[in-house]
Structure formats: structure tokens, C-alpha cells
Amino acid sequence: MFLPTTPHELLKLGWDQPDIILVTGDSYIDSPFIGSALIGKVLSQAGYRVGIIAQPDIHTDSDICRLGEPKLFWGITAGSVDSMVANYTSLKKRRKSDDYTPGGINNRRPDQASIVYTNLIKHYFKNTRPIVLGGIEASLRRISHFDFWTDRIRPSILFDAKADYLLYGMAEKAVLELAAALKNRTEVRDIRGLCYIAGAEESAIKRAGYLELPPFEAVEKDAHTLIDMFHDFYRNNDALTAKGLYQKNGNRYLIQNPPSMPLTQKEMDGIYGLDFERTQHPYYQKQGAVKALETIRFSIQSHRGCYGECNFCAIAMHEGRTVQWRSPESILAEAQKLARYPDFKGYIQDIGGPTANMYGFECEKKLKEGACQDKRCLYPQVCPSLKVNHHKQLEMLKKVRSVAGVKKVFASSGIRYDLLLSDRQYGEQYLKELVQHYISGQMKVAPEHTETAVLNRMGKPGISLLLRFKELFDRMNKKFGKEQFLTYYLIAAHPGCTRSDMQKLKRFTRDNLRINPEQVQIFLPAPSTYSSLMYCTGIDPFSKKPVFVEKDPQNKDQQKNIAVAKQPPSPVPSRRPRPRRTP
């Protein structure tokens, strides 16, 4: 069942007023891959009346007012992607297409959507119910942060939007606690995973154990203070070890409570077992199809979170560094459900998460004591405490493959080859199964670069592991008579990367990978990442030494063009026969 989005649907349900109205920058796709739909279903399952308004017209009251005013709160998300990332390229050019908008035309999601939607509600509903920000845009902008598009340090989005609360991270637990507190008129400000603004006189800013960050005015002016602030912010993102944070801005304070606890497997199974329509709501379908459905309609999310912690990636700050996975029984039940859809053609497009091969294992120490403060799970090499084991994923994939009506299961998410190579017991078997059964033509890997200095800035493993993996991949394809290849994702103009580095990358890919790179993107400084911190300050935040940053758009484009320029591959060197030694 869809969440209601029109007055007629409210009438059919016999509702005089929703308890909660969710406003989203995506079209309404009722799928577990869409945050607003998933949160809406979680609240609905708990007994709340939830309506949803997708991509409202920001110039009139026709959309934002059509469901009336909620009893408890408004929930706002910019959508599945930060609105500025969705609307602009790395060179700040306006994107023409949007995979989450009907018809694919990028004309429905406003810039800084969380702020715009908050203002829209306040314009038509004076003194309204609390407005709560959520989703990845709010999550990554919850603290003082560098904004690439305005080229300045901005305060928490709560100050700019003037919303009441912000829920960060995946937020299923936090949103249920918030709804209950508002319904029962109990204290809201104790909820884990919640941010709010307090006045200087409020005792909430003096909570025992909360860590004070440098004030906004200080981080706005001084690069080293900004770096120190971000270190404290990053280190306090693990649910088991994090302290609450507070930061002064003028005469008020941003308060960030510690993160929500990760979902248990039972809780995760329950959420993904909810009744999703897995398609676009008919009201929005009339406006045009959404491209995102092509990949998510018949896909299954098996896990969430990432212990990769790449410096340019925001997943660790939103989904968390602890990987959580569903039970094989839950995944199998979803596959069986998909197989019963009339338009299912037998192909499950993907079973995975942010990275395909992070299912079914975690560091026991991390699960008991929280993430390490002084080292990472995968960089500079895979930590020996992380007992990498692909066996559970192999068994799960085999079970799904055997479901009646399923012809093919794809593992389309990217593979961490360093993880695969570190699993000496099941790594080769896992790759063998992927080559034989779970890829079709290509496998995605993301070395991102080839030069050691740049890889170090990215927090990525050395290129020798890629060559080992490629040799193993090629050998297995030859063994099984498959013509399959690797697709390499690469980044140009990352902090520390020069034209010379891109020329070396080009030679390496030509001579060692035997390709002309195609999947090359120009680095985009997403909010609340270490790489964006480097881009903003020109300083390596770990060594505190200066780092080269390419900021000229034309030069950035040239870096990319060096990589993608068509060149014939170099000839394969042939071995010269050794001269015979004469006695």
C-alpha cells in the first residue's frame, strides 16, 4: 500500500489529518531503497498516519497545502542525494537530468532543498508543528561544514533552515522515538541521533560528558581550527564510543546527541520485510517515469554501512562505520516476493550494499567496544582484527539463485578487491562464483587512482593489489571460458593530484590494465568528508602539511581529459629468446 499523497487518498482512508507529513526532493517511489518511503513505512507500521508530498511546487501552495497540517511533525528530506550534488556537476554546471524526477528532467528539486522546503512550510503554515530535517543532505550538513557551491564555511543546516530538529544517520530508531515523544508530550531532546539548537541560557548545553567544539566563528576563519573540529566530529560518530557534541554559533548552540545504536539483525529484517509497492506512486507516474526504478525495482539491499572510510566518501558519516546485515532468510523471502511480481523477468539486478562484499562479517572488537580511534579497518591495509570471510555471502547468494522464477542474480555493487584478497579461505572461491554466476560482462572496481601519493590522500590501498586481483580475475575468466572484464572507477583532480599524476595514471592504465579509461569523474567535495576538508584548506588534515589542490575548473577538466583521451594500447612486450651459451 502506498502512503497517501492526495486529499482523495486521505478521504478513502477516513483520515481527517495525518500525524506526520514527509516532504521529499525525490518523486515518491515506494521502495526500501528510498529513504522517505522507508521512514514513512516504519512510522506507518508503528501506527502513525503518514502522508507524503514529493517534489512540491515551491512557488505556490498547490502541493505543500494539499494534505493540510500534520498533528505531530513535518519531516523534510532533500531526497536520496544532496540537492547540490543532484543539481550541479563537479565543475558547477547545471545537471540536465535527474534519475529521481518524473521524465528524467532536472527541474523539480530546488537548490538547498532542505532549506527551501522548510521556508515553504513556514510561509503557508504560521506557527506550525515542529519541522524535522533528515536524509543525507541534513546528515552531512549537521555541523559547520565547507560548502563547495558557495565556496565558504557554512553553519549547521539547522541554523540556515531554521528547522526545529535534525535526525542524522539512517534514523529509523530516532524517528520512532521522536514521534512517540511528540505524541506523548515527553522530552524530545534526549533522543540519540538528534540535533537541535539551544539558547546560551539553557542547561542542555552543559550536559555531562558532551564535548565542546570550536565555535562557528573560529572555524570559519581559521583552517587549522576547522581541521581540529572535524577530527573531533569524525571521531564521535560511533554509537558505542561517541560523546555528545555542542558548538557555539553567535549566542546560540548546536547540540548533537550521540548517534543512534545500530539496528539489530531482527530489526533490520523487520524493516526490509515491510510491504513496499516497489514502484512509483500513480499520482507521480502520470508525470513521467523515473530512471532510478530501472536499477532498484528488482534489487535487494543485503547490508548497510561501510568500514572502508575512503576520505572522499560520506557513507561512513551517514550509514556508519559498522556494517549491519540482514539474515539470509529475510533476503530469501524478499527474493521470493520479487519472483511473484507479474513483470519480473527473472533477473535480480543487485544484491548488495555500499560495497558488495561486506556482507556477513565484522570486527568483534568493534562490535563490543566501538570503532578504533587511532586506525582504520582497511587503510593502509586490511586490519588483522577484521576476520574477512565471504562464506556467508556465498551461501546466501546460492540460496537466492535457487528461488523458483529467478534466472540470474547479479552482484552489481562495487567489489573491494583488497578484502577479497585478504580472505585466504574463501576469497578465490568467492571470485570464482562471481565470475561463473553473478556478473554479466563486467565487474565494478574502484581503484580511484594509480599514484601512491594520491591514493594516500584518498585513503585507498596501493595499486599492487589491483594488479593481483586483475591477474586472478583474468585467469578465472579464461578457465571458465568467459569474456568478462573489469570496469575501473577513477577520480581526477582530487586534492594532491596534478596533471603529472594523471599522465602517469594514463600510462599505467594503458600499459598494465590495457584500457582507455572511461569511468572517470572529477572530484566533487561533498560536505563532511576529509577530502573536502583538504580541498577547502589546502592542508593534509593528518600530517598538517600543505597539499596541492586544483581549483581551476579548466584545469580540472584537463586532468580528466588526460585520462579519457583515446590512445592505442601499447604493444604487449614479447620475450626475446635467450642466446645459447656456447661451451
| Assigned C-alpha cell, 494 | 582530487
Specify the residue for cell string 486529499. Answer: 7
Label residue 521 left, alpha or beta by phi (over 0 means left) and psi (-120 to 50 means alpha). Answer: beta
Cβ neighbour number for residue 209 with a 10 Å cutoff: 7
DSSP string of 314-365?
-HHHHT-SS-EE--HHHHHHHHHHHHTSTT--SEE-EEE-SSTT--S---HH
Which tens digit of pLDDT belongs to each residue from 59-72?
A: 999 999 999 999 99
Confidence band for 203, pLDDT divided at 50, 70 and 90: low
Kindly give the pairing relationship between strand 303-304 and strand 324-325.
antiparallel
Question: Distance between CA atoms of 14 and 20, rounded to whole angstroms?
Answer: 15
Question: Distance between CA atoms of 491 and 343, rounded to whole angstroms?
Answer: 38
| pLDDT at res. 524 | 98
SS3 482: coil
Nearest CA among 481, 490, 493, 482 for reference residue 515: 490
Helix and strand tally (H, E) in the chain?
A: 23, 20
φ, ψ of residue 303 to 5 degrees: the values are -160, 170
Nearest CA among 489, 487, 491 for reference residue 531: 491
Which tens digit of pLDDT belongs to each residue from 274-290?
A: 999 999 999 999 999 99
| Assigned C-alpha cell, 231 | 577530527
180 by Cβ neighbours in 10 Å (0-12 / 13-18 / 19+) ranks as: middle
Label residue 169 left, alpha or beta by phi (over 0 means left) and psi (-120 to 50 means alpha). Answer: left
Give residue limits of the domains in the chain: 7-196+250-256, 298-440, 441-567
Element (H, E) at 183: helix 172-184
Which tens digit of pLDDT belongs to each residue from 209-219?
A: 899 999 999 99
CB 108 within 8 A of CB 78: no
Q: Which amino acid is at 568?
A: P
- Residue 22 neighbours by CB under 8 Å, 6+ apart: 3, 36, 39, 40, 50, 51, 52, 53, 74, 75, 76, 77
Helices 35-45 and 172-184 sit at what angle, rounded to 10 degrees? 50
| pLDDT at res. 577 | 40
Confidence band for 570, pLDDT divided at 50, 70 and 90: low
Question: Distance between CA atoms of 448 and 419, rounded to whole angstroms?
Answer: 16
Question: Distance between CA atoms of 16 and 461, rounded to whole angstroms?
Answer: 57
Fold of the 7-196+250-256 domain: Rossmann fold (3.40.50)
Taking the model in full, what pTM does it have? 0.95
Question: Distance between CA atoms of 511 and 508, rounded to whole angstroms?
Answer: 5
Confidence band for 581, pLDDT divided at 50, 70 and 90: very low
| pLDDT at res. 206 | 67
Fold of the 298-440 domain: Transcription Regulator spoIIAA (3.30.750)
Known binding-site residues for [4Fe-4S] cluster equal 306, 310, 313
Question: Distance between CA atoms of 448 and 458, rounded to whole angstroms?
Answer: 8
Kindly give the pairing relationship between strand 520-522 and strand 485-492.
parallel
Which tens digit of pLDDT belongs to each residue from 37-52?
A: 999 999 999 999 999 9
Question: Distance between CA atoms of 334 and 299, rounded to whole angstroms?
Answer: 10
| Assigned C-alpha cell, 472 | 586472478
CATH architecture of 441-567: 2-Layer Sandwich (3.30)
- Examine the pLDDT at 486 and tell me if it is beyond 60: yes
568 by Cβ neighbours in 10 Å (0-12 / 13-18 / 19+) ranks as: exposed
Question: Distance between CA atoms of 326 and 299, rounded to whole angstroms?
Answer: 14
Cβ neighbour number for residue 480 with a 10 Å cutoff: 11
- Residue 257 neighbours by CB under 8 Å, 6+ apart: 189, 190, 191, 192, 193, 194, 195, 244
- Examine the pLDDT at 572 and tell me if it is beyond 90: no
| pLDDT at res. 440 | 85
Which tens digit of pLDDT belongs to each residue from 115-156?
A: 999 999 999 999 999 999 999 999 999 999 999 999 999 999
Known binding-site residues equal 306, 310, 313
Specify the residue for cell string 512510522. Answer: 43
Degrees, nearest 5: CA angle 83-88-91? 145
Nearest CA among 368, 354, 470 for reference residue 418: 470
Out of 179-188, 476-485, 559-568, least confident range: 559-568
| Assigned C-alpha cell, 173 | 530508531
| Assigned C-alpha cell, 528 | 563532511
| pLDDT at res. 576 | 41
**Domain 7-196+250-256 identical in fold to domain 441-567:** no
- Residue 348 neighbours by CB under 8 Å, 6+ apart: 298, 299, 300, 335, 338, 400, 406, 408, 409, 410
CB 199 within 8 A of CB 251: yes
CB 188 within 8 A of CB 178: yes
Q: What is the mean pLDDT of the chain?
A: 95
DSSP string of 406-456?
--EE---SPB-HHHHHH-TTTHHHHHHHIIIII-SSEEEEEEE-S-HHHHH
Confidence band for 204, pLDDT divided at 50, 70 and 90: low
Which tens digit of pLDDT belongs to each residue from 490-500?
A: 999 999 999 99
Specify the residue for cell string 594488479. Answer: 467
Q: Report the DSSP beta bridge partners of residue 325.
A: 303
